[in-house]
Amino acid sequence: MFIIESYAVAIAFCFITMLCWGSWANTQKLVSRKWRFELFYWDYVIGIFLCSLLAAFTIGSHGEGGRPFLEDIAQAEHTNILNAIIGGVVFNLANILLTAAIAGAGMAVAFPIGIGLALIIGVIINYILLSKGDPVLLFTGVLLVAAAIIVNALAYGKHVGKSGKGGVTKWIVISIIAGILMSTFYPFIASGMDIENFTSPAAGKMTPYTAFVVFAAGILLSNLLFNTILMRKPLEGSPVAYASYFKGGSLHWAGVLGGVVWGIGNLFNLIAAGKAGPAISYGLGQGATLVAALWGVFIWKEFKGATGAVHKMIAAMFLLFVAGLGLVIASGN
């Protein structure tokens, strides 16, 4: 299977993760006026699962190092498989709430608050799991990201309050809940892999490719429950019938594409964890907050008409995120 051999390449893969995780929501934004996010989300999870299978049977099954997918999943211990499934369930609950917040408040708000919070808590959890990186630099970077989240939330509240729109607190709270849940999924996957040795993984442990497939299966199965509940009791708007899904036509491509984009980012992140360590790999991947905020502010114009004070707060948020991510990268050298 394909294995990363250097820290520099691992960091490059983390940046690709950042771009993918910060950009997938554009597919939801593209169809949001015609396609409810609950319907979009069915295709999104299908896209993630298809991406995991494609990777497992291609780069995850060919090469000198590691174990090919079918051999690997056959020898994996049930506990490790269960952990990866639980990771998928937790991620799916977090992500479906995040997607709802994106639909309600926009990418420039939901991502910095939700995923920024996930970055902070997730880095701490993953560092405890495997202590790689300079703790002073790593956690100073995390503090700067925390400051960026606070500034972003204040800017959103100030801007929405000025425009007279409602639901400020609602979407901030939903983003926070999503972020707390999002911070906990990664250790479940990482615990099922032999992070220290992808070339000759320990018996019972899984390669990143196998762990991704099991994780994606957890997402797909749990979506039958979570998304069904949201369709019947939506966070905003009227209930959605299953029959509406089959009337989507060409709109289905958006969700599948979004899932594939996120899936590529997740795969690259898991592969990079072997060299960068789970704390740095996860932390940089969740730098997607910065990418999503750029999309939201400059492409989707989610702060259009904001006052000069709000624009200054958004600029400060970007600077804090960049500085924080820079320290996270430096902590691994």
For residue 282, what pLDDT is reported?
Answer: 82
The reported pLDDT for the residue numbered 304 is: 87
pLDDT band of 146, cuts 50, 70, 90? confident
Question: Which helix (DSSP H) or strand (DSSP E) does residue 134 occupy?
Answer: none
Maximal CA-CA distance, the chain:
60
* 3-16 pLDDT per residue, tens: 998 989 999 999 99
Quick one: 323 exposed, middle or buried, by C-beta within 10 A (0-12, 13-18, 19+)?
A: middle
pLDDT at 253: 97
Q: What is the pTM of this model?
A: 0.89
- Domain boundaries defined on the chain: 7-330
What type of residue sits at position 151?
V
Residue-wise DSSP of 212-229: HHHHHHHHHHHHHHHHHH
Q: What DSSP string runs through 3-24?
A: ----HHHHHHHHHHHHHHHHHT
Supply the mean pLDDT for the chain: 91
Asked if pLDDT for residue 132 goes beyond 80, the answer is: no
Beta bridge partners of 193: 206
